[in-house]
Chain A
Amino acid sequence: MIVVNLDVMMARRKMSLNELSSKTGISSTNLSILKNNKAKAVRFSTLEQICKALNCQPGDILEFDGVLSKEESE
């Protein structure tokens, strides 16, 4: 399963959800869905905006935990 470590990165950069939302143009609701690992997919454009705002690499936000998710295993 792909784990989203957005909250870790936000804490490192000392940025709140609302601040990240205003910098990226992505709504707080969507960022919250992403942060809580409820998202089904992420667009590259979204990933770009987040990495630019947090000054990081995609690998800093996304991590594979070695376990296949339910849909993938079916």
Chain B
Amino acid sequence: MAQLEKMSLFLKYCLQVTFIFGVFIIIFLRDILTFSLPYQLTSSPEYIDICVKILTPCAFLDLIILWELISIMKTITIRTSFVEKNVCSFRNIALCCIGTAILLSIKLFFYSTVFTLALTYILLIAGLSALVFSQLFKKAVDYKTENDLTI
């Protein structure tokens, strides 16, 4: 198996494990926040409530991102990378990243932290990058189709 396929297979397994962890995080989000956040924040139950309300849809969007990345890795391992399905996957990843960034920016209105601000910015950049990748893959699909139909 070529190096690309080996790397994408390894990455696919890592993403699948991350996905399973992500499901557990959604289920036990409130408890995780209660135990992991500093006492000053957890002493106000309103903060936990707002965090759970905002972070739960964020977590669902992130699970969609992981799911799409897993499907992209699957196509790479079977050597069919340049397909229309991956163009849609990258577009979905972009929408989910931007959606998560919007949700986190809502949290900034209630409790502004440097970490949340930085994460919002990073997700915005990631979303725009995924949009660019989506268009790039579209071009690649067009070139591949033309090449396949060159006799």
Using Cβ atoms and an 8 Å threshold, which residues of chain B touch A40? 145-146, 149-150
| 8 A Cβ contacts from B124-151 to A | 145-146, 149-151
Question: Which residue of chain A has the shortest Cβ distance to B149 in the bound complex?
Answer: A40
Q: List 18 A-B contacts (CB under 8 A).
A: A26-B151, A31-B151, A33-B149, A33-B151, A34-B151, A39-B150, A39-B151, A40-B145, A40-B146, A40-B149, A40-B150, A41-B149, A41-B150, A41-B151, A42-B151, A43-B150, A43-B151, A46-B151
A residues 9-52 touching B (CB-CB < 8 Å) = 26, 30-31, 33-34, 38-43, 46
Between A and B, how many residue pairs show CB distances below 8 Å? Answer: 23
Main secondary structure on B side of the interface with A: mixed
Question: Number of residues in A with C-beta < 8 Å to the partner?
Answer: 12
A-B pairs, 5 with minimum CB distance: A40-B149, A41-B150, A30-B151, A40-B146, A39-B151
Q: Whole-angstrom distance between the alpha carbons of A30 and B148 in the complex?
A: 9
- Which B4-37 residues sit within 8 Å CB-CB of chain A? none
Chain B residues lying within 8 Å of A42, measured Cβ to Cβ, are 150-151
Q: In the complex, how many angstroms separate the beta carbon of A72 from the nearest chain B beta carbon?
A: 14
